Structure 1
Amino acid sequence: MSAASRSLAAMAIARFPTLVIDCPDAAALARFYSALLDWPVSSSDDDWVEIKADYGQMLCFQQVEQYAAPDWPGQEHPQQMHLDVVVDDLDEGEAAVLELGATKHEHQPGETFRVFLDPAGHPFCLCSS
């Protein structure tokens, strides 16, 4: 067992998972969930809105062009969500998730986060703290 594998058993790689929901209008969907959950908007820009509970749980809404609503339970337009998790160090987090079986996606649209695919192909992001 490698040193990284041993350390994985001792501590989590990441913390504070955040569900990110793709949608045609981030502000409108955030208002809906904000009212539903009584969580205030904590951060907002043109295409990204976050709502946050007083105990720290957060939902994020990402506006996407040419949004196609899910056709659940069908798979022609599957559900559009991904998981964001916070890591102390992006390089160390990357090495750890790659060892677990993740794949780094070729498209990296930002500098404060990195996009990976889980072993089943679902995207998730490691975000700097």
Structure 2
Amino acid sequence: MAEYPQLLHTVIDTTDVRALAEFYRQLLGLRYRQGDEPPADGVADDADWLVLVDANGARRLAFQQVERLERTTWPKHDIPMQMHLDCTVSSVEELQRQRERAESLGAQLLLDRSDPADEPLYVLADLSGHPFCIFVG
């Protein structure tokens, strides 16, 4: 039987590791890997790599500090997306609720395609400008 590499997690570059990890922690209901939790009050956060896990402890997303990050210009192609995350919800009502939640966490709406009945969706940008989609699926 052939052996294949196993996907550990998806790593997202950012100029602010803690802020982006916290954004996705809240948006997706994840938690920090043990040892990656925010520092105690008043302690400087010098994290340059953080991992988020699901309720079972499986790694889902990691965040890596970079000095500079060019925001995508999508839907123009001057600076392409390069990658994006797809998230699904159960209904059109939940789609709207999750869009509002994402925006309250700092996301920016890039595309509103919530009208088509076959696949309503929103494309948003996270705090570092990485696009992600939320759609009914």
Scaled to the shorter chain, the TM-score interval is: 0.3 to 0.5
Q: Which has the higher helix share?
A: 1
TM-score relative to the length of structure 1: 0.47
Q: Which has the higher strand share?
A: 1
TM-score relative to the length of structure 2: 0.45
